[in-house]
Amino acid sequence: MADASTLELASEPLASVAVRRVVALMNAGAGAFSQALAEDVRTGLAAGLAQHGVTAEIKFVEGDGLHDAAERALAQAKRGEIDAVVVGGGDGSIRTVASVLAGTSVPLGVLPLGTLNHFAKDLGIPLPVEEAAAAIAAGHLRIVDLAEVNGEIFINNSSIGIYPYMVIDRERRRANHKLAKWIAMVPAFFRMLRHFPRRRLRISAEGFARPYRTPCLFVGNNEYGMELFTFGRRQRFDTGELWFYVVKPRDPLEFFWMVCRLCFGQLDQARDLETLQLREAEISAKTSRLPVALDGEVKIMHTPLHYRSRPRALRVIVPEARQD
């Protein structure tokens, strides 16, 4: 295998890559492992890959060690010892490994073992381990955009305002009462409505600057569907654009009804959202630090926040049917 550091990403998605040896990094805290034993996943993955002639070094890693493990796997790829790096986990785990592989020619294989698996679903990657393993072995590639804020990569979206507020509250409840994510999110949502934080933000880009006071600013890596049958899904992953969605409702009741309309596919974009399509932008605020959600995980970041697209920065192994 050629040294990954010497190759440039092609301008078009590659047809395929020969995958014979991989390192599979499994997040030991991923959502799937609350229902399935790690050894079952290991066995299913190894068997699924071996059936297609692929040998795998499977490592179970705690979440805080995933980045370092990905760095070591990248070094193996650069030495020609493996053909791809596979990550098993949810969107947060994929984000961590993608941040290491960004800008290299090393392909990323995905085993969707998280709670929601947005990235995998958008790319058509199958959820069963054996089917995902077969797709990895086939080696069909798609080159996709990444996005970043203050140097932190995200694969799906980032947000400021009510969502990170709810995630922080949800995780506090889970730690105190051992609740599942969705159960803990319900009281977090209603607590948010009682307090309903609204941020004073300013979005600045080339030739553009505008102040907002909003409960939520959502930044998508490419465009998110807002209609009933496309809501929350992306059809394109390579436009090199970020989509900024500024929520307009100014009070809790108005916001609650917006959520209801959204759930029934009746979102009125002109009334509920202001949408901006930008390659990069700066978000400034009255405060020096903000909680920022990145693919469902929250980080405290210093302002201003510098968002930018990383066009075609990641090679992902996907099922052949998803090729353009």
- The predicted pLDDT at position 56 comes to 93
Residues 180 and 305 in one domain: yes
Residues 101 and 226 in one domain: no
Residues 17 and 90 in one domain: yes
Q: Which long-range contacts (CB under 8 A, 24 or more apart) does 265-269 make?
A: 265/227, 265/228, 265/229, 265/231, 266/228, 267/226, 267/231, 269/226
Residues 118 and 165 in one domain: no
Residues 13 and 110 in one domain: yes
Q: Which of 92, 108, 139 is the last residue of a domain?
A: 139
Residues 299 and 184 in one domain: yes
Give one DSSP letter per residue of 49-112, joined into a string.
HHTTT-EEEEEEE-GGGHHHHHHHHHHHHHTTS-SEEEEEE-HHHHHHHHHHHTTSS--EEEEE
- The predicted pLDDT at position 228 comes to 52
Asked whether residue 316 is domain-assigned, the answer is: no
pLDDT class for 31, splitting at 50, 70, 90?
Answer: low
CATH number, domain with residue 209: 2.60.200.40
- The predicted pLDDT at position 33 comes to 57
- The predicted pLDDT at position 123 comes to 94
Q: How many domains does the chain have?
A: 2
Is the pLDDT score of 137 beyond 60? yes
Residues 301 and 170 in one domain: yes
Whole-angstrom distance, CA of residue 63 vs CA of residue 46: 21
Residues 133 and 157 in one domain: no
Residues 175 and 258 in one domain: yes
pLDDT class for 293, splitting at 50, 70, 90?
Answer: very high
CATH number, domain with residue 69: 3.40.50.10330
Residues 118 and 166 in one domain: no
Asked whether residue 320 is domain-assigned, the answer is: no
Is the pLDDT score of 316 beyond 50? yes
Report the range of poorest mean pLDDT among 12-21, 102-111, 213-222, 267-276: 12-21
Q: Which of 74, 108, 139 is the last residue of a domain?
A: 139
Domain that holds residue 10: 4-139
Report the range of poorest mean pLDDT among 113-127, 169-183, 283-297, 305-319: 169-183
Residues 23 and 115 in one domain: yes
Identify the DSSP state of 4: G
**Better pLDDT: 268 or 52:** 52
- The predicted pLDDT at position 264 comes to 76
Is the pLDDT score of 322 beyond 50? no
Asked whether residue 319 is domain-assigned, the answer is: no
- Tokens, residue 131: 């089917």
Its pTM stands at 0.86
Question: What are the pLDDT digits (tens) for 55-74?
Answer: 999 999 987 899 999 999 99
- Listed residue (62, 108, 56) closest to 85, CA to CA: 108
Asked whether residue 252 is domain-assigned, the answer is: yes
Average pLDDT over residues 86-106: 96
- The predicted pLDDT at position 324 comes to 44
- Listed residue (65, 61, 101) closest to 82, CA to CA: 101
Residues 159 and 243 in one domain: yes
Q: Which of 113, 139, 165 is the last residue of a domain?
A: 139
Question: What are the pLDDT digits (tens) for 298-312?
Answer: 999 999 999 999 999
CA torsion, points 199, 204, 210, 211, in degrees to nearest 10? 20
Is the pLDDT score of 124 beyond 70? yes
* Alpha helices (H) along 139-251: 162-177, 181-195
Asked whether residue 146 is domain-assigned, the answer is: no
Whole-angstrom distance, CA of residue 108 vs CA of residue 228: 31
Asked whether residue 321 is domain-assigned, the answer is: no
Whole-angstrom distance, CA of residue 48 vs CA of residue 51: 5
- Tokens, residue 26: 């499994």
Whole-angstrom distance, CA of residue 19 vs CA of residue 48: 13
Is the pLDDT score of 125 beyond 90? yes
Asked whether residue 323 is domain-assigned, the answer is: no
Whole-angstrom distance, CA of residue 209 vs CA of residue 168: 30
Average pLDDT over residues 106-129: 93
Asked whether residue 307 is domain-assigned, the answer is: yes
Whole-angstrom distance, CA of residue 205 vs CA of residue 266: 31
